[in-house]
């Protein structure tokens, strides 16, 4: 990592002397504090001219090729440029930087093949995330085939292998930052050495309001063309044209210094970054309507009758019935069908539970007042607060069958069994898949336990 630090200095980047760029026992890069650093300190400053983007890459393009490449989504466009720089090796301006990055694919779930690890992820949030992003190994290979001619037309080296192309995709997926209107998505040396945590010690800062044609912060020739409408009262110094790492909470000597990639669930982290956090507060289990209906539908009840009751509850302002501190329910958009990391049902999922309970003749919830009462009762009972009179008598028993149906979503193995399997495998991808699935099972087990405790 010392070569990276020297390269940063040679290219006018700043890294605070109180930060150590190092590798842990597994060879993973990280940033550690050598001394305490107060909040608001700028501990890293990277000139935008040093970022690796489609604007700064050495890939020379004719107008036709550039137009084709620019029509791609920003991430895929950047992959082509990064693959080109990887191919250049020592001839690339970013050789030292790229050499400090992982030299082989990290197990981001987006690029897993259809083997055992992917099988374990079927029906999970990771699978949903992969569908949302629209990328997998087969599609990446198709992209490689279509993008390869662009590289061959201009590259001064041999054609990249698919492995190099996949590495470029991984680097962009896991390390790129949104820099500004000119560079768009880019790799930012130094900024990507900080690992993820939430809350973080530092955050990434960049002046995004720049000319999208030339990247200038101040007025430029493109302003008169109406392509940029700057605030004439704001003057930004040229030296501010950097990407900065700014301390937002005081750092103690000896601590690893973390950035944040955003409020990301483990599904997003595994899909795009290839790792998991223990006890991630942003985790959630989502259901589509058909899936949730199947989980909640009482036996012997026609699905159209169930859908009708569910639609009735959705028309009520149920969110106002659920206190934000309710330990079992969480106020959300009625269209959201999910369970959060604390095992709380969204109000949309609560509507499904109400419909199931009513159709099973376990409870009558014909008005908003009744719904509010039910939500309040289960919340108070879960908080171990006294419930007046017979207000809560049997309430848990009435709802428990429907909640249990939800919590038995994918019941094949419990969390403990999944974790045992994870410990027994040497396959990194399979281990990550099992650990992730165990996390989802723990949430569902928490739901069942919390509601069972009311009875």
393 confidence band (pLDDT: 50, 70, 90): very low
Sheet holding 242-247, edge to edge: 14-15, 42-47, 242-247, 202-206
Average pLDDT on 251-262 reads 96
User: DSSP label at 18?
Assistant: T
Average pLDDT on 41-51 reads 97
What local confidence, expressed as pLDDT, does residue 390 receive? 43
What local confidence, expressed as pLDDT, does residue 235 receive? 38
Residue 41 has pLDDT above 60, yes or no: yes
C-alpha–C-alpha distance, residues 410 and 387, integer Å: 34
291 confidence band (pLDDT: 50, 70, 90): confident
7: phi then psi, degrees, rounded to nearest 5: -65, -40
What local confidence, expressed as pLDDT, does residue 334 receive? 81
User: Using H for helix, E for strand and C for coil, what is the string for 310-371?
Assistant: HHHHHCCCHHHHCCCCCCCEECCCCCCCEEECCCCEEHHHHHHHHHHHHHCCCCCCCCHHHH
C-alpha–C-alpha distance, residues 101 and 296, integer Å: 47
Alpha-helical segments (H) within 213-252? none
Residue with tokens 């305490």: 36
154 confidence band (pLDDT: 50, 70, 90): low
400 confidence band (pLDDT: 50, 70, 90): low
Average pLDDT on 346-362 reads 78
With b for 16 or more beta-carbon neighbours within 10 A and e for fewer, the 135-171 pattern comes to bbbeebeebbeebbebbeeebeeeebeeebbbbbbbb
User: Using H for helix, E for strand and C for coil, what is the string for 144-164?
Assistant: HHHHHHHHHHHCCCCCCCHHH
pTM of the model: 0.84
What local confidence, expressed as pLDDT, does residue 229 receive? 46
Residue 406 has pLDDT above 70, yes or no: no
pLDDT tens digits for 364-392? 555 555 666 676 666 666 666 555 444 44
Average pLDDT on 47-58 reads 95
Query: Is the bond into 199 cis (omega within 30 degrees of 0)?
Result: yes
Which string of DSSP letters, residue by residue, matches 380-440?
HHHTT----TTTTTTHHHHHHHHHHHHHTSS-SS-HHHHHHHHHT---HHHHHHHHHHHHH
C-alpha–C-alpha distance, residues 145 and 148, integer Å: 5
- pLDDT, the chain, mean: 84
pLDDT tens digits for 314-331? 777 777 777 788 888 888
Cβ(82)–Cβ(395) under 8 Å?
Answer: no
C-alpha–C-alpha distance, residues 159 and 291, integer Å: 45
Q: What domains can be seen in the chain, in order of their start residue?
A: 2-272 (3.90.1410.10), 284-452 (no CATH)
What local confidence, expressed as pLDDT, does residue 220 receive? 75
Query: What share of the chain in percent tops pLDDT 90?
Result: 51
């Amino acid at each position: 990592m010392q070569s990276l630090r020297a390269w940063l200095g040679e290219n006018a980047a700043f890294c605070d002397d109180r930060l150590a760029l190092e590798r842990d026992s597994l060879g993973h890069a990280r940033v550690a504090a050598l001394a305490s650093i107060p909040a608001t300190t700028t501990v890293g400053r990277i000139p935008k001219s040093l970022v690796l983007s489609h604007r700064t890459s050495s890939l020379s393009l004719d107008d036709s090729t550039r137009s084709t490449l620019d029509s791609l989504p920003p991430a895929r466009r950047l992959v082509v440029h990064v693959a080109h720089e990887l191919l250049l090796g020592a001839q690339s301006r970013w050789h030292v930087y790229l050499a400090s990055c992982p030299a082989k694919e990290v197990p981001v779930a987006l690029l897993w093949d259809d083997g055992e690890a992917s099988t374990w992820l079927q029906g999970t949030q990771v699978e949903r995330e992969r569908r949302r992003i629209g990328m997998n190994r087969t599609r990446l290979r198709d992209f490689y085939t279509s993008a390869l001619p662009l590289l061959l037309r201009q590259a001064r080296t041999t054609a990249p292998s698919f492995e190099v192309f996949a590495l470029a995709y991984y680097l962009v997926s896991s390390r790129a930052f949104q820099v500004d209107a000119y560079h768009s998505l880019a790799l930012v040396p130094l900024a990507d050495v900080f690992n993820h945590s939430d809350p973080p010690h530092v955050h990434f800062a960049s002046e995004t309001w720049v000319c999208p044609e030339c990247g200038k912060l101040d007025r430029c020739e493109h302003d008169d063309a109406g392509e940029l409408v700057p605030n004439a009262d704001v003057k930004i110094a040229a030296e501010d044209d950097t990407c900065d790492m700014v301390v937002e909470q005081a750092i103690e000597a000896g601590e690893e210094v973390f950035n944040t990639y955003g409020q990301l669930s483990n599904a997003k982290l595994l899909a795009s970054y290839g790792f998991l956090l223990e006890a991630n507060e942003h985790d959630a289990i989502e259901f589509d309507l058909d899936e949730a209906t199947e989980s909640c539908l009482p036996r012997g009840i026609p699905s159209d009758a169930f859908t009708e009751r569910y639609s009735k509850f959705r028309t009520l302002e149920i969110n106002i019935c659920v206190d934000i501190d309710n330990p079992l329910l969480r106020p959300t958009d009625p269209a959201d069908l999910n369970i959060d990391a604390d095992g709380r049902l969204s109000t949309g999922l609560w509507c499904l539970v109400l419909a199931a309970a009513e159709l099973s003749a376990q409870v009558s919830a014909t008005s908003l007042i009744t719904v509010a009462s039910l939500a309040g009762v289960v919340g108070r009972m879960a908080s171990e607060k006294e419930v007046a009179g017979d207000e809560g008598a049997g309430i848990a028993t009435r709802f428990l069958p429907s909640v249990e149906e939800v919590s038995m979503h994918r019941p094949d193995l419990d969390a403990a069994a999944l974790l045992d399997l994870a410990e027994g495998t040497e396959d990194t991808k399979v281990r990550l898949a099992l650990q992730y699935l165990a996390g989802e099972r723990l949430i569902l087990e928490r739901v069942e336990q919390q509601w069972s405790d009311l009875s």
